[in-house]
């Protein structure tokens, strides 16, 4: 199939490709049933992005000239008539931006399985479900509903409920952070908060320093805003900060992002020395820090470290915190604590994009914070998560220690970061355990700029029950042994 493209022409490349294929179909060069090159193969042949071929093939499909077989390959087919006219549906793929066509939804799909019945999921980062009893929540919710009956109750200010922001200020004071309600902006989750921050301040082409490994929620928010990632490796003390001066001087980043307490996915905690280093770099180069700190309450074998925000006297840190790991699953909230100018503009942006924040989670959290239950339950979360962590770790080490599997016991957070034995790929292992109704997150999704992580998996221990941990880990360990045995017998 002879196709050429001219990148200097005004006609979009995908239309050049689809037009030439269409001509070959009409003149009989490509007959009905002819198999077409794969998206990747044709893209390589023409030296274009794969998304260009995706759009070209979509154009031909909507003209009923080609079809695809179960997503495996494309072939020529002839158009059908619809009320005397050839069908010409809209080519939606051509209208969707390239970055969203390329979007890898593996992480989101596996995360969502946390809520499916008959699935043992180690994929989510979700709070332990046994800490807040359902009957108690129903009672609190009923109290809230009957507290006020006028319509204004169901609307909250753009910045978030004022009473709740006052309670958050008191909560932050226990963490050594001194701020005011006016410096707090509420959000539904940290990824939403980061998306708003990027929308507000990031210009296309701006660079952001981030640790690697990194949650997809973070790097996608940066990339979709047009930002470029400057990934920095990690060790047992978190993101390596000792040699960032040359990188900052050369690349002039817009922000430095760090999840300081129990990195997702590795579980490492940024050391106190490196927290101070980052702050010094921020002051030296006037580069703001975005500090995410949602895991800081779930510490097990370590004293909690002061946040970078608590040491920041120059207002250089935008602090993000989520209650998603320490409140009722599905009802968590997030907030940003930052300079007044930043919060004011974030609030204005919320007013344009959301109109009103969800009032139910705000009122539930307010009630639990006011009556002291939230603070009391934190010990319960730590106790339950520590027990689940120890159970998962003991099963993992007890059944596969002889196989070359490696995993450090995390001192906090909700994840085990597991290095698989040589010869086992995390994606292939996932396919096998899914047959038994078990899921986890393969490590490759946490490396946005390198082909790393195939030899790692991330296991969440906070949400599944102890019974589910025992059953699910048994399946994972069994599949690891079977895979190694098959590998050795080849």
Q: Give tens-digit pLDDT for 195-249.
A: 999 999 999 999 999 999 999 999 999 998 999 999 999 999 999 999 999 999 9
Taking residues 318-322, what's their average pLDDT?
Answer: 97
Taking residues 49-69, what's their average pLDDT?
Answer: 86
The predicted structure's pLDDT at residue 461: 95
- End-to-end CA distance of the chain: give it in Å, rounded: 39
Q: Are 483 and 427 in contact (CB under 8 A)?
A: no
State the pLDDT confidence band at 80, using cuts at 50, 70 and 90.
very low
**Whole-angstrom Cα distance, residue 286 to residue 302?**
32
- Long-range pairs of 374-381 with CB within 8 A, sequence gap ≥ 24: 374/326, 374/327, 377/131, 377/132, 377/326, 378/297, 378/326, 380/131, 381/127, 381/128, 381/131, 381/297, 381/298, 381/325, 381/326
**Whole-angstrom Cα distance, residue 309 to residue 342?**
15
Is 80 exceeded by the pLDDT of residue 81? no
Taking residues 410-419, what's their average pLDDT?
Answer: 95
- CB-facing half-sphere around the CA of 175: CA atoms within 13 A: 25
Taking residues 336-347, what's their average pLDDT?
Answer: 96
Cα 463-466-471 angle, rounded to 5 deg: 105
Provide the edge-to-edge strand list for the sheet that holds 415-419: 406-407, 415-419, 456-460, 441-442
Burial of 160 (0-12, 13-18, 19+ CB in 10 A): buried
The predicted structure's pLDDT at residue 398: 82
Which of the 8 DSSP states describes residue 115? Answer: G
pLDDT in tens, 15-30: 999 999 999 988 888 8
Closest CA to 481 of 408, 402, 419, 418: 402
What the block records as the tokens of 131 is: 């800490």
Lowest mean pLDDT among 157-166, 329-338, 439-448: 329-338
- Which among 103-117, 171-185, 329-343, 368-382 has the top mean pLDDT? 171-185
The predicted structure's pLDDT at residue 102: 58
The predicted structure's pLDDT at residue 489: 65
Give the start-end residues of each E strand in 169-316: 184-187, 207-212, 228-235, 238-239, 255-259, 289-292
Query: What does the domain layout of the chain look like in residue ranges?
Result: 13-101, 106-125+376-489, 134-371
Question: Angle of helix 50-62 relative to helix 13-26, nearest 10 degrees?
Answer: 40
State the pLDDT confidence band at 310, using cuts at 50, 70 and 90.
very high
State the pLDDT confidence band at 417, using cuts at 50, 70 and 90.
very high
State the pLDDT confidence band at 124, using cuts at 50, 70 and 90.
confident
Which of the 8 DSSP states describes residue 35? Answer: B
What does residue 180 show for φ and ψ, rounded to 5 degrees? -130, 160
Q: β-pairing, 255-259 with 207-212?
A: parallel
**Whole-angstrom Cα distance, residue 156 to residue 358?**
8
Taking residues 339-349, what's their average pLDDT?
Answer: 95
The predicted structure's pLDDT at residue 153: 54
Class of domain 13-101: mainly alpha
> Do the domains at 13-101 and 134-371 have one common CATH topology?
no
**Whole-angstrom Cα distance, residue 138 to residue 328?**
12
Tokens 């994840």 correspond to: 415
What the block records as the tokens of 195 is: 């998306």
What the block records as the tokens of 120 is: 């043992």
**Whole-angstrom Cα distance, residue 452 to residue 443?**
8
How much of the chain exceeds pLDDT 90, in percent?
58
Closest CA to 400 of 381, 417, 416, 419: 419
State the pLDDT confidence band at 284, using cuts at 50, 70 and 90.
very high
Is 60 exceeded by the pLDDT of residue 152? no
The predicted structure's pLDDT at residue 133: 82
Higher per-residue pLDDT: 87 or 56? 56
What's the topology of domain 106-125+376-489? 3.90.1150
State the pLDDT confidence band at 1, using cuts at 50, 70 and 90.
confident
Is 80 exceeded by the pLDDT of residue 372? yes
The predicted structure's pLDDT at residue 359: 83
**Average pLDDT of the chain?**
88
**Whole-angstrom Cα distance, residue 92 to residue 315?**
45
Instruction: Looking at the structure, give the CATH architecture of the domain made up of residues 134-371.
Output: 3-Layer(aba) Sandwich (3.40)
pLDDT in tens, 237-272: 999 999 999 999 999 999 999 999 999 999 999 999
Is 90 exceeded by the pLDDT of residue 79? no
Taking residues 110-115, what's their average pLDDT?
Answer: 62
Tokens 């359902």 correspond to: 134
Tokens 């045995």 correspond to: 485
- Which among 13-22, 140-149, 284-293, 401-410 has the top mean pLDDT? 284-293
What the block records as the tokens of 263 is: 């990195």
Q: β-pairing, 238-239 with 228-235?
A: antiparallel
């Amino acid at each position: 199939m002879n196709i050429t493209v001219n990148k200097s022409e005004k006609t979009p490349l995908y239309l050049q490709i689809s037009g030439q294929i269409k001509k070959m179909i009409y003149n009989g060069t490509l007959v009905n049933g002819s198999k077409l090159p794969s998206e990747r193969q044709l893209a390589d042949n023409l030296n274009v992005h794969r998304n260009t071929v995706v759009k070209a093939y979509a154009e031909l499909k909507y003209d009923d000239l080609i079809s695809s077989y179960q997503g495996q390959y494309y072939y020529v087919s002839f158009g059908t008539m619809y009320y005397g006219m050839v069908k010409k549906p809209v080519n939606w793929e051509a209208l969707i931006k390239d970055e969203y066509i390329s979007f890898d939804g593996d992480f989101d799909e596996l995360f969502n399985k946390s809520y499916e019945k008959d699935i043992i999921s180690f994929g989510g980062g979700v709070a332990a479900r046994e800490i807040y009893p359902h009957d108690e929540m129903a009672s609190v919710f009923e109290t809230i509903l009957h507290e006020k009956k006028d319509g204004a109750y169901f609307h909250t200010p753009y910045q978030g409920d004022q009473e709740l922001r006052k309670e958050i200020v008191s909560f932050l004071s226990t963490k050594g952070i001194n701020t005011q309600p006016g410096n707090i902006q509420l959000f539904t989750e940290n990824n939403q908060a980061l998306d708003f921050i990027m929308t507000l301040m990031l210009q296309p082409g701006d660079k952001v320093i981030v640790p690697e490994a990194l949650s997809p929620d973070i790097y996608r928010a940066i990339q979709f805003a047009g930002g470029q990632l400057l990934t920095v490796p990690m060790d047992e003390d978190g993101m390596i900060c000792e040699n960032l001066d040359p990188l900052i001087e050369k690349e002039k980043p817009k922000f430095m992002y760090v999840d300081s307490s129990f990195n997702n996915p590795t579980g490492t905690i940024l050391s106190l020395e490196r927290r101070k280093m980052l702050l010094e770099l921020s002051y030296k180069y006037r580069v703001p820090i975005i500090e995410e700190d949602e895991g800081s309450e779930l510490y097990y074998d370590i004293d909690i470290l002061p946040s970078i925000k608590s040491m920041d006297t120059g207002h250089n840190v935008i602090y993000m915190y989520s209650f998603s790991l320490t409140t009722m699953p599905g009802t968590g909230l997030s907030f940003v604590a930052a300079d007044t100018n930043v919060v004011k503009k974030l609030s204005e942006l919320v007013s344009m994009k959301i109109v009103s924040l969800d009032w139910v989670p705000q009122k539930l959290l307010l009630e639990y914070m006011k009556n002291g239950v939230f603070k009391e339950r934190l010990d319960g979360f730590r106790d339950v998560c520590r027990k689940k962590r120890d159970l998962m770790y003991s099963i993992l080490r007890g059944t596969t220690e002889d196989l070359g599997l490696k995993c450090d016991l995390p001192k906090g957070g909700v994840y085990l970061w597991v290095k698989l034995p040589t010869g086992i790929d995390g994606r292939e292992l996932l396919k096998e355990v899914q047959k038994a109704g078990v899921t986890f997150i393969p490590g490759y999704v946490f490396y946005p700029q390198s082909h790393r992580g195939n030899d790692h998996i991330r296991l969440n221990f906070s949400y599944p029950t102890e019974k589910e941990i025992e059953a699910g880990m048994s399946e994972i360990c069994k599949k690891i042994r079977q895979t190694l045995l098959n590998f050795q017998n080849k």
